[in-house]
Structure 1
């Protein structure tokens, strides 16, 4: 299994804006066949070094992760993220 973890810091860090992006990410649940598990979390400490949202997804294989990356719904999510991100996201992909 491959675990894909991404952290996002948004331009607009207001609770309303963070919730909109949370909903965009959570909307992938059950809609992408390769996506075996999705967890989306919003930061509760709100420190300067904090990221606003964490995304944890799991896939059966690297090939499934690659298919997810080009899935039309994920492409829509990436377009949304490109508009709301403050810089770039950070991620780690590992075998679990």
Structure 2
């Protein structure tokens, strides 16, 4: 199983904006064949080191994750709508 984990820091982390970001990310479910698992969480602690949203996606292989990265829905719906909301993001990709 290949994991793609992304942490997002929003420019505005109001509850409404966090819900909007979460909804953008969860909208991928069922629309990208390579995406085998999708979990999205909103931060609850708001500490100094916290990011606002965590995306955990799973794939059968790194190649499937690569296909997801350029999939039309991911690029045109998710990234196009999420990027303007972001201050920063960090990713970790691994096989487990």
Q: Secondary structure at the match of 2:10?
A: coil
8 A Cα contact 2:37 2:58, kept in partner: yes
Alignment of 1:26-65 (within 5 A): 26-65=26-65
Alignment of 1:1-12 (within 5 A): 1-12=1-12
The more displaced of 54-63 and 75-84 is: 75-84
1:32 Cα shift?
A: 0.6
In the alignment of these two chains, the number of paired residues is 95
Runs (4+) of structure 1 exceeding 4 A deviation are none
1:71 Cα shift?
A: 0.6
In structure 2, list runs of 5 or more residues that go unmatched. Answer: none
Q: Structure 1, residues 7-64: CA drift from partner, whole Å, max 9, x if none?
A: 0000001000010000000010111100000000000011232100000000011110
The separation in 1 between residues aligned to 2:89 and 2:56, in whole angstroms, is 13
TM-score normalized by the length of structure 1: 0.95
Higher strand share: 2
TM-score normalized by the length of structure 2: 0.95
